[in-house]
């Protein structure tokens, strides 16, 4: 039998380790241009009905962690609406096909989440096409690197906050009237929100903000029975990296993790499934570190 996510093995050597080949992409990046190809669970994620009948909206669903989460949600029994940028259409269609292969409904929702109206529109289309909404997984994000304060530009910070922070408020506000007790909102922070690198100040501010928004919103929504949690990934082998990080850093990408390798997107998906499912009923306001052994707190 081929290996899957349940095959016991050494996690340190389970996936490719640096050094990696030189590679550079432009944002938003393409999973098929990555060498080696990332694992989003296409053949390795095995579901068991943990989200049977649920209705999920996943942002950043075409690639990386969002793609793995969309595949996992579908294999756990959820219908999935996929949010992504228009230029990522072909990657999103691949994910939609995998969702349908799992016997679930897929909804394709291209659009720029920096525009407030897009956020309201994708929530309404999700509700219309899936017949409701009870899992909101906010995974989309951008990560410009700026190595000197002398190169700081207002537009960069505006872009990071518009793409990484504003949609938390816009999507949640739009979803609010549809979310019932038992619903789950899941955000995506980063190890950078806790232990920032010097050249990621704008991004690190946004990722610390996401973890703190998660704590605040969890308390606000507790009385309505809606849980709000986050995932803080360490280095993960996704197009975000070659799209935003200068070339030479890709070679050693992941070597800073205790495991000495980057995570694969499929290794993030189970945390999103756990936080989406009723299994995590007594957890709200928490951000789970998925970092290959590096502490964040
Ligand atoms: P990714 O590039 O595959 O996914 C990011 C997605 O964000 C894109 O696919 C795109 O669809 C979406 N996006 C970006 N700007 C958007 C906009 N204006 N409107 C709509 N969608 C937009 O990379 P990923 O690594 O899977 O990133 C997913 C999340 O994980 C991000 O929030 C990222 O900050 C976070 N994260 C990644 C890493 C890592 O090492 N890869 C580490 C920590 C946190
Ligand atoms: Mg993408």
Q: pLDDT (tens digit, 9 = 90+) per residue, 104-158?
A: 999 999 999 999 999 999 999 999 999 999 999 999 999 999 999 999 999 999 9
DSSP 18-74: S--------TT--GGGSSSPP--STTT----STTTT-EEEEETTTSHHHHHHHHHHH
Distance 139 CA to ligand 1 centre (A): 6
Report whether pLDDT(294) > 80: yes
Choose, from 6, 203, 259, 282, the residue flagged as catalytic. 203
Phi, psi at 138, each rounded to 5°: -95, 100
For residue 252, what is the enclosing H or E element? none
Q: What is the pLDDT of residues 202-242, one digit of tens each?
A: 999 999 999 999 999 999 999 999 999 999 999 999 999 99
Gyration radius of the chain over CA positions: 18
Sign for the CA dihedral angle at 56, 62, 65, 69 comes to positive
pLDDT reading at 247 higher than 80 = no
CA 66 to chain centre: 4
User: 52-290, which class in CATH?
Assistant: alpha beta
Predicted confidence band of residue 2 (pLDDT cuts 50, 70, 90):
low
Sign of the dihedral defined by the CA atoms of residues 165, 171, 174, 177, in that order? negative
**How many other β-carbons are positioned within 10 Å of the β-carbon of residue 202?**
22
Ligand 1 pocket: which of 29, 60, 92, 237 to mutate (most atoms within 8 A of CB): 60
Q: Please name every residue paired with 137 in a beta bridge, in sequence order, or none if there are none.
A: 58, 186
* Beta strands 135-138 and 55-59, pairing class: parallel
Written as six digits, the tokens of 83 are 């949010």
260 pLDDT above the threshold of 60: yes
Q: How many whole angstroms separate alpha carbon 268 and alpha carbon 275?
A: 11
- pLDDT, one tens digit per residue, over 5-48 is 999 999 999 999 999 999 999 999 999 999 999 999 999 999 99
pLDDT tens figures, 159-202: 999 999 999 999 999 999 999 999 999 999 999 999 999 999 99
DSSP element (H, E) containing 108: strand 106-110
- The pocket around ligand 1, CB under 6 angstroms, is made up of 28-29, 59-60, 62-66, 84-85, 88, 112-114, 139-143, 163, 188, 190, 233, 235-236, 238-241
The residues spanned by each domain of the chain are: 52-290
So what's the pLDDT on residue 4?
A: 87
**Residues 82-98: b if buried by 16+ CB within 10 A, e if exposed:** bbbbeebeebbebbbeb
- pLDDT-derived band at 249 (thresholds 50, 70, 90) equals confident
**From CA 77, how far away is CA 70, in angstroms rounded?**
11
| pLDDT tens digit sequence for 56-83 | 999 999 999 999 999 999 999 999 999 9
59 CA to centre of ligand 1 in angstroms? 9
Give the mean pLDDT of 242-270.
94
For residues 244 and 63, what is the distance between their CA atoms, to the nearest angstrom?
Answer: 15
178 C-alpha to ligand 1 centroid (Å): 25
């Amino acid at each position: 039998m081929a290996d899957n996510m349940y095959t016991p093995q050494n996690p340190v050597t389970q996936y490719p380790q640096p050094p990696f080949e030189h590679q550079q992409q432009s944002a938003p990046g393409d999973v098929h241009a990555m060498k080696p190809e990332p694992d989003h669970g296409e053949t390795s994620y095995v579901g068991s009905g943990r989200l049977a009948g649920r209705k999920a909206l996943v942002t950043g669903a075409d690639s990386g962690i969002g793609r793995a989460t969309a595949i996992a949600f579908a294999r756990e029994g959820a219908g999935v609406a996929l949010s992504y940028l228009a230029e990522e259409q072909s990657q999103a269609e691949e994910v939609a096909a995998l969702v349908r292969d799992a016997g679930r409904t897929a909804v394709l929702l291209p659009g720029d989440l920096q525009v407030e109206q897009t956020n309201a529109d994708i929530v309404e289309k999700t509700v219309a096409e899936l017949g409701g909404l009870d899992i909101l997984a906010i995974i989309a994000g951008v990560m410009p690197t700026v190595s000197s304060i002398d190169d700081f530009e207002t537009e960069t910070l505006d872009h990071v906050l518009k793409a990484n922070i504003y949609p938390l408020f816009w999507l949640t506000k739009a979803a609010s009237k549809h979310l019932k007790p038992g619903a789950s909102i899941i955000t995506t922070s980063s190890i950078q929100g806790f232990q920032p690198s010097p050249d990621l100040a704008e991004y690190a501010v946004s990722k610390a903000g996401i973890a703190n928004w998660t704590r605040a919103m969890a308390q606000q929504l507790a009385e309505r029975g809606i849980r709000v949690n986050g995932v803080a990934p360490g280095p993960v082998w996704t197009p975000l990296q070659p799209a935003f990080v200068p070339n030479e850093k890709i070679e050693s990408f992941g070597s800073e993790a205790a495991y000495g390798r980057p995570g694969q997107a499929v290794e993030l998906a189970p945390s999103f499934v756990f936080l989406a499912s009723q299994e995590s009923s007594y957890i709200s306001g928490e951000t789970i570190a998925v970092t290959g052994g590096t502490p964040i707190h």
